[in-house]
Structure 1
Amino acid sequence: MAKYMLLIHGDAAQWEAMTAEEWAAHHAAHAAFREAAGSRVVGGEQLEPAPTATTVRGGVADEPVITDGPFLDTKEGLGGFYLLEADDLDEVIRLVSLLPEVRATHSAVEIRPVVSRG
């Protein structure tokens, strides 16, 4: 069984503008995804907004350079993730289609196979 990282991208301003009812529907859709995926969900969490991030890069003389926030060229930032085990990409796509970010105009779900070294 292969592992897949599902990266949930979206516009933080759009998420922040959601009403309590919209959040309830959003959480219900994620609960339906987790129920359908069952034990295939290995992990996953919602992330704090992008401005709370810290980025560490290589600097001069092997000293790291630390900056606030991620480097973004777009309004879309990483909002959360799931780590999923599945037989194949088709199974992952079928499950991902249950996530509300797939239907929202400001967000998307990126599917990345995890490298297996063993």
Structure 2
Amino acid sequence: MSGYVILIQGDERRWQGLSAEERSEIDAAHREFSRRVGDAILASGELQGTETAVTVRRGPDGEPRAVDGPFTEAKEVVGGFYVIDVPTKAEAVALASLLAEARHDHSGVQVQPLVDHGAS
């Protein structure tokens, strides 16, 4: 398997303020992406807002502790993702470039290979 995760990142406040036209453009790009990638999409989803997130990390006693929020030190957050199975990273990048978020000034698209733990 040549798996890649595509993380759609952006400014959550800008996403919340998108016009109907901007949302339509983004939705159309996702439909085209899905049409082009087809069965190579292994999973996908849009995430709810960061106000619904919970982060689990080591607490003061060394045990895992759940706290509200993503608590990342970044303006941009992950808003959605795809996991795809394509032969090369170049193909994954070319497909990710179809997404409207790759063209907007308030977002970006990260492509990262998955580790294949079954490989020798």
TM-score range, shorter chain: over 0.9
SS in structure 2 of the partner of residue 116 of structure 1 = coil
Number of residues paired by the alignment?
A: 118
Q: Deviations over 1:31-54 (max 9, x none)?
A: 001101111111100001122100
Is the counterpart of residue 3 in structure 1 residue 3 in structure 2?
A: yes
Aligned counterpart, 2:54: 54
SS in structure 2 of the partner of residue 57 of structure 1 = strand
Residue 111 of structure 1, CA deviation: 0.9
List gaps (5 residues or longer) in structure 2.
Answer: none
Identity %: 40
- Equivalent runs, 1:97-116 vs 2, <5 Å: 97-116=97-116
Q: CA RMSD in A?
A: 1.2
TM-score relative to the length of structure 2: 0.92
Is the counterpart of residue 65 in structure 1 residue 61 in structure 2?
A: no
List gaps (5 residues or longer) in structure 1.
Answer: none
Aligned counterpart, 1:93: 93
Residue 62 of structure 1, CA deviation: 4.2
SS in structure 2 of the partner of residue 24 of structure 1 = helix
Aligned counterpart, 1:43: 43
Moved more, 93-102 or 53-62: 53-62
Query: For 1:34 and 1:58, how far apart are their aligned partners in 2?
Result: 38
Moved more, 62-71 or 19-28: 62-71
Q: Deviations over 1:51-76 (max 9, x none)?
A: 21000111244432221111222210
- Equivalent runs, 1:70-85 vs 2, <5 Å: 70-85=70-85
Query: For 1:88 and 1:24, how far apart are their aligned partners in 2?
Result: 30
TM-score relative to the length of structure 1: 0.93
SS in structure 1 of the partner of residue 71 of structure 2 = coil
Is the counterpart of residue 12 in structure 1 residue 18 in structure 2?
A: no
